[in-house]
């Protein structure tokens, strides 16, 4: 029997203050989410694979400058953009990831090349960049990644000497997508610029399979956004999958325990997009808001920011 196709995406979670959101800005965010959702859903609808769908949705989010990934990635302490990404498929449980990479336009495509053509799972920095060039991926100069908003955030963070999670109003702007295709295969992908003003080659949860990104056909596909250090320690994505696999919990029950109890207890602010093998979608978050969107079967699309 054909599976019930589903896709869910996010553009980051955090304190998204209504007071600093104008109707015009909100419309731009919603447009960015809708565009990415459509890109992924169109592939699923034509019978395409969940891996292609999550890659297309994340490429769209990376190309959209308001989100902290690809083009809109934040500045690190020395004024550069160091990006992390991961992609994982639930059928073979193969994964590919990159961390601390600069210059590549779409880090999720580099992560996919790692998964499919490197024989490895996680490549870092210069080596990952070299591999991407050898694979013919597209690179851009610093100017492509420059956005005034991110520059101003970095200057502010530098002045106050703090490492900041993406926005003055504490938003986590990482992007991600999860999907179930008609063949019943799950996939997940996540991409991020990490934290504004980050130092020392800091890497968060996003590119780590099991922490920020995970897919397993027996359970679910997950893409996280939030305070990476806490998501790493809580091994969030894998924990949800384990609660389903070993305890028989539903996707919703597992997400509730991890996001609204375990993470809250250690101060881990954020959320995630999740889909299970039956096509059920959950997009829980313990922060004030999360940019998110989903579409399941022939149902209407949902595009949401606040609770
Ligand atoms: N989880 C990401 C990180 O810590 C940040 C985010 O979600 O915005 O790198």
pLDDT in tens, 216-265: 999 999 999 999 999 999 999 999 999 999 999 999 999 999 999 999 99
- The yes-or-no verdict on residue 167 having pLDDT over 80 is no
Please compute the mean of the pLDDT values over residues 51-63 and round it to a whole number.
98
| Distance between Cα 12 and ligand 1 center (Å) | 8
pLDDT of residue 84: 97
Quick one: which atom of ligand 1 is closest to the CA of 166? 8
Residue 3 confidence (pLDDT) above 80: no
Report the top-level CATH class of 6-299: alpha beta
Please state the atom number of ligand 1 nearest to the C-alpha of residue 194. Answer: 9
Contact 204 CB / ligand 1 (< 6 Å): yes
Whether 206 lines ligand 1, by a CB cut-off of 6 Å, is: yes
User: Which candidate in 15, 22, 147, 174 is catalytic?
Assistant: 174
Is the CB of 72 inside a 6 Å radius of any atom of ligand 1? no
> Could you tell me which residues come within 8 angstroms of residue 272 by beta carbon, excluding any fewer than 6 positions away?
10, 176, 222, 223, 224, 225, 226, 236, 237, 240, 255, 259, 283, 284, 285
Q: What is the pTM of this model?
A: 0.95
Question: What per-residue confidence (pLDDT) applies to 181?
Answer: 98
Query: Does the CB atom of residue 228 touch ligand 1 within 6 A?
Result: yes
* Predicted pLDDT of residue 215: 99
Q: Where are the domains of the chain?
A: 6-299
For ligand 1, atom 9, the nearest C-alpha belongs to 194
Closest ligand 1 atom to 226 CA: 7
pLDDT single digits (tens) 188-219: 999 999 888 888 899 999 999 999 999 999 99
Residue 41 alpha carbon to ligand 1 centre in Å: 25
Strands 122-124 and 95-101: parallel
Residue 166 in this model has a pLDDT that exceeds 70: no
**Mean residue pLDDT across the chain:** 93
Q: Is the pLDDT confidence value at 23 over 70? A: yes
Tell how far the Cα of 204 is from the centroid of ligand 1, in angstroms.
6
Longest CA–CA separation in the chain, Å: 58
Confidence label for 14 from pLDDT (cuts 50, 70 and 90): confident
Q: For 110-151, what is each residue's pLDDT tens digit?
A: 999 999 999 999 999 999 999 999 999 999 998 898 888 888
Q: What is the reported pLDDT for 254?
A: 98
User: If you measure from the C-alpha of residue 176 to the centroid of ligand 1, how many angstroms do you get, rounded to a whole number?
Assistant: 11
174 is catalytic: yes
* Overall average pLDDT of the 278-307 stretch: 95
The pLDDT of residue 228 is 95
pLDDT at 179 over 90: yes
Distance (Å, rounded) from C-alpha 198 to C-alpha 11?
A: 20
């Amino acid at each position: 029997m054909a599976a019930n196709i589903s896709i869910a995406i996010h553009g980051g979670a955090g304190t998204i203050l209504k007071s600093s959101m104008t109707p015009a800005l909100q419309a731009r965010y919603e447009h960015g989410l809708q565009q990415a959702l459509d890109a992924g859903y169109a592939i699923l609808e034509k019978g395409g694979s969940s891996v292609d769908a999550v890659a297309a949705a994340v490429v769209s989010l990376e190309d959209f400058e308001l989100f902290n990934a690809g083009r809109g990635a934040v500045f690190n302490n020395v004024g550069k953009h160091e990006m992390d990404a991961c992609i994982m498929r639930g059928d073979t449980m193969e994964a590919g990831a990159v961390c601390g990479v600069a210059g590549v336009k779409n880090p999720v495509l580099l992560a996919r090349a790692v998964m499919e053509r490197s024989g490895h799972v996680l490549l870092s920095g210069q080596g990952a960049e070299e591999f991407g060039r050898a694979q013919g991926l597209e690179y851009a100069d610093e100017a492509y990644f420059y956005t005034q908003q991110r520059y101003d955030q970095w200057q502010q963070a530098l002045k106050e000497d703090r490492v900041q999670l993406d926005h003055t109003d504490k938003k986590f702007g990482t992007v991600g997508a999860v999907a179930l295709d008609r063949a019943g295969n799950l996939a997940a992908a996540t991409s991020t610029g990490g934290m504004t003003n980050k130092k020392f080659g800091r890497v968060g949860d996003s590119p780590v399979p099991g922490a920020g990104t995970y897919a397993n056909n027996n359970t679910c596909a997950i893409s996280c956004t939030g305070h990476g250090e806490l998501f790493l320690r809580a091994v969030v994505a894998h924990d949800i999958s384990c609660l389903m696999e070993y305890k028989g919990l539903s996707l919703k029950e597992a997400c509730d325990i991890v996001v609204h109890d375990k993470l809250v207890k250690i101060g881990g602010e954020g959320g995630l997009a999740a889909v299970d093998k039956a096509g059920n979608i959950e997009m829980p978050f313990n922060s004030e808001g999360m940019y998110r969107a989903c579409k399941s079967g022939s149902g209407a699309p949902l595009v949401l920011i606040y609770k």
